[in-house]
Structures are given as C-alpha cells and as structure tokens.
A and B are shown apart, each in its own frame.
Chain A
Amino acid sequence: MTALVTSTERLQRLLALVPYVVSRKAVGLAETAAAFGVSERELVDDLNLLWCVELRSPDPYCPIDLSYEGGEIVVSQAESMGRPLRLAVDEASALLIALRTLGEVPGGQDRSALSRLIAKLEAAAGEAASASSQVAVQVELPGDAEKVEKYAAQVNAAQAAGRRLHLRYYVPGRDEATERDVDPMRLLMVEGRPYLEAWCLRAEGMRLFRLDRVLDLQVLDVAAAPPPEAQPVDIGQGLFRPSPDDLRVELELSVAGRWVAEYFPCESVSELDDGRLQVVLRTPDMGWVRRLALRLGEDGRVVSPPALVDQVREAASAALANYVA
C-alpha cells in the first residue's frame, strides 16, 4: 500500500524513528514497522535514508550510523537526534484534551493515574500545553446516571469474566421492551450518549445499545462466544449508517423544527424560505418517524411516503379524541 505522505510527514517519522530505536537499545523491524504504522519495506527505506544523510562541511561525514542486520535495528551513532522533537501546540492540546475527556466520563478511569499523567505531559510540553486549557469537554450521563454507571460496571465485570449478558432493552420506535442476549465488546460515549457495543444473538449482528435505554441487565452464567465477524464498528464513520433498504422519509421543518437536521443523520438537507428546511431521512422504522412527527406537531410535516402521512394523521386524531372524551 502506498499512502500519500508529504515530505514533512515523513520527516516527522524519521525524526521519531532514531530516538525510538535509541531509547530501546535494539528493536525488531516488524515491531517498529507496526509501531509506526508502515510496512517493513517502507521502514527499511526510512532506515536507508537516515543512514545516507551526509553533511559536507567542514569535512564530509555521516552523522547517523545504524544497522538492521538479522531484522534487528541498532543505532550506533545518533549525533544530536537521540531525543524526539518536543510536542507541538496541536499535539500537546489533542492529547491533553483527550485525557481530560477521559476524566470527565463518570465511573470511568483510574483518576490518580490520569492526573499524574496529565501533570507529566503538561510539564514535558511546557508552553505548548497552555492552549489546551481553552478547550473544555463536559459529559453528563443522560437519564438515571446511577443506573447507567451500575450497568457500565456490570458490563465491565462480564467482559473481565468473559460472560454473556441478558438485556431488557427499550426500543422507542416501537415503544417496546425487548429481551435479548448479547456478547459485550466495548462501552462508548459518543455525542454525549453512552452505548454498549455488543454482538446481538437475536439480530445476529453488531448492535449499539444506549445504556440509558437498558431496562434491566443481567450477567449470565454462560461464556460469551462472539463469532469471528463480531468486530467493533468504525465509529469515525458515523454511528448510524442507513441501509438502502430503509424507508425514505421526506419532512418539512419549521424554524423551530430545524433541530431534527442536527440530531439525525439526513440524506439531504435543503433550505426553504423563512428558515424552513426540507430533509430526507432513511430509517428502517416507520414507528420511529411517526413518533417524531407527533412530537414535532406544527413544526414538522411529513411529505412522503403517503402511508406515513396517513399514519400520523390517524394517530393524531385518535389521540385528540382521547382528550375530548
């Protein structure tokens, strides 16, 4: 694989490679390639380039001497490159913000280790650390925070013991409590919401369960046995990826209903007059959109599909009849 790397990106890697080896005395090619996320061939190219560096003045000499015979890298002369370059502002900030975020999540990490690490990094980064204080992350668990923390601890315990879980789980689209067995993979906090990512035996697939929608959770006396295809989903691609089989729903939103476009991934969003929006959503769950339309009231109007338009009207008029009676 030939990734597009700029000269300066490669230079950063080269400047880190020498101290990486020096600090470990000697280290294997394969291990080093893995640590830098490059192939062994790319790594050997890097090593050759370092070895070939030549300065011509006053007399020609090669400041870096190294070998990788037998698959083991040894740097015998590193000149003044034995230590890595200090952290840049963005680097120090990214790491410090991430660490403080870890500390924000309730019921989470070893606080003492976190604060010791933060203090060490701040000291090592020096001035580069100060900008990070201009960014803050706050996390509050939604719903019943105590319950969510309790479930998180139970999931961790099940993971440690390699056990399967039984969930009673609320599905809002159908307004239904469902029962299912799952093999837990990881707990995530994404966009302010806590999720359990697990292999669901009922759906035979990876599923994300919102911890604040778990009605009950039990650790089973059964070993978790997720199949090989049970792999964590790439969250960076977005939490929900609509499938082409999903229902296509077109909504018109008033200014007060614009939040819909911020909360749910929309296939398309177009501006209408007066700050109104036209959005297209994909969902496998007609019940969910029906409830969304009732919630929106006059701030949202279903344009299509026609079946959904009818459902919303029927539900609204039946509900209003309850108030008259």
Chain B
Amino acid sequence: MSKRKTERLLGLVVCLLSTRRYLTADQIRTAVPGYPEQDDLFKRMFERDKEDLRDLGVPLETGLNHPFDEDPGYRIRQQAYELPELRLEADEAAMLGLAAQVWERAKLAGAAAGALMKLQAAGIDPARFDGGDERAAGPGSAGSGSAGSGGSGAGGPIAAGIQPRLGTPDPSFGSLWEAVRDRRPVTFSYRGPGRTEPQRRELEPWGVVNRNGRWYVAGWDRARAAQRVFRLSRIVGPVKFSGPAGRVTVPDGVDVREMVHDRDSSPAPERTAVLRVRSGGGVGLRRNAISAEPDAEHPGWDVVSTRFTEVDWFADEAASFGPDAVVLDPPDLRDAVIRRLKGALA
C-alpha cells in the first residue's frame, strides 16, 4: 500500500466535498498536494484517482460553473456523499450483528464488512454475539484479519435461533452476481444433469437464488427462447459477459424464487412403503416409520411401514441398508432397489 496515494486520495475527497463550485483539474492540482508537475503524468494519475473514487462509490460529479467554461470541473455534493441519518433500536442493532456473520468468508463477506464499518461510523453499535466468529464480527475483517472485538468467550449474549451461513463455493458466483446487479447477458458452458458433454448457453440473468444451500441462476435462455434455471455447481469454466450493462430487462411479474422452487419440487404424491427390516438394524429406516411390528413369519425381522414420495430417492436410501432391509411393497420400489443392488455387484 502506498501512504502517499492514500493521502492524495483523502485530500482529493476533502477538497471536492468542501467546494460548492466545480473545480477544474488544474485547480485541483493546485489545491491537493501530491500531484506531479508534468502535465501528462498528472493527467494519468488524476484519471486513475477519479476511477478509484468512483469504484469506492464516491459520487463524483462533473459539470461546468458557466456555460462558457472550457474545461469541465469536479465536485462531490455533500448530500449525495453522505449516508442518510439512521437510528437503530437495540433489537435492530442486534440483528445487524447477526447479519454480519452470515456471509462468513464467502464472496460478499468483504462488502458486508464494509457496510458494517460505515454503519458503525454512523454511530451504530451492532451487538456482538457469543459463540460467533470474532473474525466475522468486526468490520476490519475484510482485509486485515487481525482480531476484532475481545468479545469471544463467556459473557456475550447468546444468539437465538439457528444462525444461517451462506457459502459461495461456486467460482461462477462472482460473475453472475455482477451480471444480475448490472443487468448484463452472459454465456457459459453448462453440464445439465445426465449430459455427457457441457453445452454452450446464453442467458439473460434475472436473479440468483440460494435454495437450501445450493445456488441457482434463473433467466431467459436466448437460444431456447424460454425461461430456464441453472445450477451454479454445474457451470463449467468461466462465465463471460456477452453484452453491456443495462441490456437485460426482468419482465414484470417474474419471481425467480418461484422459478427455482418449481424446478426443484416434485409434485409426486406420498406413498407407503412396506419393508422387512432386521431387528436392531435399519435404524435410519425406523426413524420416520409409521409402524414397526415383529414379523411373525420371519423371526429376527420386523415389518416397517414408512412414507415416501420419490421412488428413486427412497430406493437409494433402502438399498444403502444392504442385507438389513428388504422392500416388500410397492413393486416399482422393490424393482428399483434390486436394480441398484445388481448394479453394485456388477
């Protein structure tokens, strides 16, 4: 890190914040220490600095003080710069403390820490929870990795309920978030379930959805001219932008949660399976059983009834108990288990 650059950028922000009039590049060079004398060097450095400030979200405005001015000037309007007044009740600040931990080390963890730093700067003290990760609780966690609060150990409040954590293990998450945020179309290779080769897809992404821990992207598949949902873990290689920002319009009434939910849920009705399960075995099958009775004709075995919806899923489960479980009914389930066992033997 360069201390001189930090000083210069800080001076630039303060300078532009404290002016009502637009300041030209030359006026800025005179006011802010640290810029070089040479014109071309200054120009390049000033361009980079403007870029850096815009990346940080500093609302840098360009304009003319008079219609006849030749060079454009710059300023930062206080009102556009400042976080609006924000007052939180104690119970709200407690939620903020919990939210700060949700992203753990995932893709947006740094952004969450940045937000928390600004809220703290606005005078808010988010609660820190016992049993949480210190690292995730402090705003400095984004880059510095040094210990945050001294709040670990006994004495802190206990977070109620189950604390959610969001991971972003899929490398495509970052690009897809940017695409959704900036409304840009993308292309990627996708290996659909059961496909031996990945296929090229071009998508207008409408939203990113995490459903029960797995990430999906939903949108308009251009080649197929249809709504589609893709699972991020099945994307092969990089996601590339295939158009400029603002090119994607999310149609009214689209609910990406519904799109992912519909794809994921099976409308299959619940059915009853009857199994012969070895006494003392098949504990996992008995957990959700409706009934379990000793089998009169087969000593050492019980007859267990349980509910299931998907044949394939339950056949996997039943087969995994090997010689400790035999499916008696229904026949399609029984056949599916036999098929698996033969497959394991092959």
Give me the interface of A with B, judged by CB distance under 8 Å.
Answer: 1, 3-20, 23-24, 34-39, 49-50, 52-57, 63-64, 79-81, 83-95, 97-99, 101-102, 104-110, 112-114, 116-117, 120-121, 123-124, 126, 128, 131, 134-140, 142-144, 152, 156, 159-160, 170, 172, 175-177, 185-194, 211, 215, 231-232, 234-237, 255-256, 262, 274-275, 290-299, 312-313, 315-323
Contacts and interface: CB of A to CB of B under 8 A. Distances in A.
B72 interface: no
A84 B122 contact: yes
Interface stretch (B39-47, B62-70, B132-140, B222-230): B132-140
A161 B139 CA distance: 31
Contact of B114 (A88, A99, A117): A88
B89 A295 contact: no
Contacts of A124: 83-86
Contacts, number: 444
Contacts of A172: 284
Nearest to A138: B211
Given A3-B143, A7-B1, A8-B9, 13 more contacts: A49-B10, A80-B78, A84-B82, A84-B122, A85-B56, A85-B118, A91-B57, A117-B96, A124-B83, A170-B284, A186-B163, A189-B164, A322-B276
A79 B14 contact: yes
Chain B CB within 10 Å, residue with most, of A1, A16, A110, A185: A16
7 contacts: A94-B109, A95-B112, A126-B84, A137-B209, A175-B283, A256-B194, A321-B323
A187 B261 CA distance: 26
B339 interface: yes
A274 to B, nearest CB: 5
A37 B139 contact: yes
A113 B340 contact: no
Nearest to B334: A323
Interface bin, chain B:
35 or more
Interface in B35-83: 52, 55-59, 78, 80-83
A117 to B, nearest CB: 4
Contact of B18 (A7, A80, A91): A80
Interface string B305-324: 00000000000110111111
Contacts of B326: 319, 322-323
Chain A CB within 10 Å, residue with most, of B100, B195, B320: B320
Nearest to B23: A57
Contacts of A126: 84
B103 A94 contact: yes
B175 interface: no
Contact of B287 (A64, A215, A235, A322): A215
Interface of B: 1-3, 5-7, 9-11, 13-15, 17-18, 27, 30-33, 52, 55-59, 78, 80-89, 91-92, 94-96, 98-100, 102-106, 108-109, 111-112, 114-123, 131-133, 135-136, 138-150, 152, 158-167, 177, 180-181, 191, 193-197, 206-214, 233, 250, 256-257, 260-261, 276, 281-284, 287-288, 316-317, 319-326, 334, 337-346
B88 to A, nearest CB: 7
A298 B323 contact: no
B56 A88 contact: yes
B160 A156 contact: yes
Contact of A291 (B116, B122, B321): B321
Contacts of A91: 57, 111-112, 114-115, 118
B120 A20 contact: yes
B159 A186 contact: yes
B280 to A, nearest CB: 10
A4 to B, nearest CB: 7
A15 B83 CA distance: 12
Given A113-B94, A191-B167, A315-B322, A11 B9 contact: yes
